[in-house]
Amino acid sequence: MAKILFVAATFCCLYLVGASPAVTSILELTKLKEDSHNINQCPDPTAIADSPLCQLHIQQSAKWFDTITQTIHCPNSGVNKVKIACIIVKDNVANDDGGYASITSGGLNQYSVQIYLKSQWGKGIDFDITVYTESASNSTLV
């Protein structure tokens, strides 16, 4: 029985999607260094909406001898009528052991964004994703 529990626990994946408790302010997030693990596309943090279009925490535990991939759509449903002004994807795993993030479609000055997340071999992923639209005073509704 213990062997079965060990195997089940080993291959069980943790997957959480929800608001990120680690996010404190947009100015703190815009100091994030952009590299292959992080995305920081926020040219004017003063011109964004008060609340994010998407704010997610994505976490999934490692798989033995495999990589984890996940595609995030923002907005994940409905139609957004205001252009995206800021995209921040923060890898919470240190020492270059974390996953990789890339924008595969949409992005800044578009109405949606698709973000592709990929873990390193045998590692998990742990990302905070925050996407803001233009503020009402700066936007042109379609």
Does residue 126 belong to any structural domain of this protein? yes
Q: Is residue 6 part of a domain?
A: no
Number of structural domains the chain divides into: 1
Which pLDDT score, from 0 to 100, does residue 78 have?
Answer: 85
Range of the domain at 59: 15-133
Between CA 8 and CA 61 the distance in angstroms is 13
pTM for the predicted model, two decimal places: 0.74
What is the residue whose two structure tokens read 């925050």? 130
In-domain check, residue 33 = yes
Q: Does residue 7 fall inside a structural domain?
A: no
Q: Which two tokens stand for residue 53?
A: 């279009």
pLDDT at residue 137, as a whole number: 76
Residue 10 lies in a domain: no
- Does residue 139 lie within any of the structural domains? no
Omega cis (within 30) before 75: yes
Q: How far apart are CA 133 and CA 43, in angstroms?
A: 12
Mean pLDDT, each 10-residue run in order, the chain (142 residues)? 34 36 50 80 91 96 94 92 96 90 96 97 96 82 52
Whether residue 1 is contained in a domain is answered as no
Q: Any idea what DSSP says for residue 49?
A: -
Residue 3 domain-assigned (yes or no)? no
Residue 130: Cβ-neighbour burial (10 angstroms; 0-12, 13-18, 19+): buried
